Each structure stands twice: as structure tokens, then as C-alpha cells.
């Protein structure tokens, strides 16, 4: 998975540079801020889909309270993908090997909580 994650990081960042050159021209701090705010915005959209689904009884196409498609599995997957893309681009921008960071964090958690069975 680490190769796939590294490729995702590189592609997310390359896409951002190609699609938003004016953002990248503003410098490192502005790009970092954009990714951090975007990541939080998209995480909020994940929460919004879950909130609607919870209120209406699950992920479904239609309900009595919301427009069609507002809390479907497809809507949730799209928002989760947005979170991952912002996270991957931020990691790449900051020179963080996301796979290695996850491995380090898992090792810390195993030390604290033990190896899952």
C-alpha cells in the first residue's frame, strides 16, 4: 500500500499545481493554509452526510427531509475521497511520507494498546 499511497500523494499535489497555479504562486504558507482549510471543510462535508443519514435512518437515495442524493453511499464516498486528496496533497507539500507516518503511528498505538488479535 505504501507505493500506492506515495503515488496518490504525488498525483494529488501535481493535480493541484496544474489546476491552481495561482494558489501555488502565492508560496508555501498559502498552499499549506489552503490544504488545511480544505481538509477541514471536506471533513465537515463527510460529517454532514453522516448527520443527514443518521437523522433519516441510513444512507439512502431519498427521504422526507432532504433533496435526493444528499445522504447516499455515493455522496459519502465522494466526500471521503475529497478528504483523502487534500490530506495527500498536504502531506506531499510538506514532504511527509504518509505511509511511513501511518506505520509510526500504528507502532505507537500497538505499544499503548497491544497488537490487535
What pLDDT is recorded for position 28? 97
Collapsing DSSP to helix, strand or coil, 60 comes out as: strand
- Along the chain (117 residues), what's the average pLDDT of each consecutive run of 10 residues? 89 98 98 98 97 91 86 95 98 97 96 94
What does the pLDDT read at residue 117?
87
Rounded to whole angstroms, how far apart are CA atoms 58 and 78?
17
pLDDT of residue 74: 95
Tell me the CA distances in angstroms from 85 to 11, 41, 77, 88, 94, one per residue in order.
9, 12, 12, 5, 14
What architecture is domain 2-113? Orthogonal Bundle (1.10)
Amino acid at each position: 500500500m505504501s507505493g500506492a499511497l506515495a503515488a496518490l500523494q504525488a498525483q494529488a499535489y501535481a493535480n493541484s499545481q496544474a489546476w491552481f497555479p495561482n494558489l501555488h504562486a502565492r508560496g508555501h504558507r498559502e498552499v499549506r493554509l489552503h490544504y488545511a482549510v480544505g481538509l477541514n471543510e471536506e471533513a465537515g462535508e463527510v460529517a454532514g452526510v453522516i448527520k443527514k443519514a443518521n437523522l433519516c435512518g441510513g444512507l439512502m437515495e431519498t427521504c422526507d427531509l432532504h433533496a435526493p442524493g444528499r445522504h447516499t453511499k455515493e455522496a459519502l464516498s465522494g466526500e471521503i475521497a475529497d478528504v483523502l486528496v487534500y490530506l495527500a496533497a498536504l502531506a506531499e507539500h510538506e514532504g511527509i511520507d504518509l505511509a511511513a507516518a501511518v506505520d509510526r503511528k500504528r507502532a505507537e498505538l500497538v505499544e499503548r494498546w497491544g497488537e490487535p488479535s
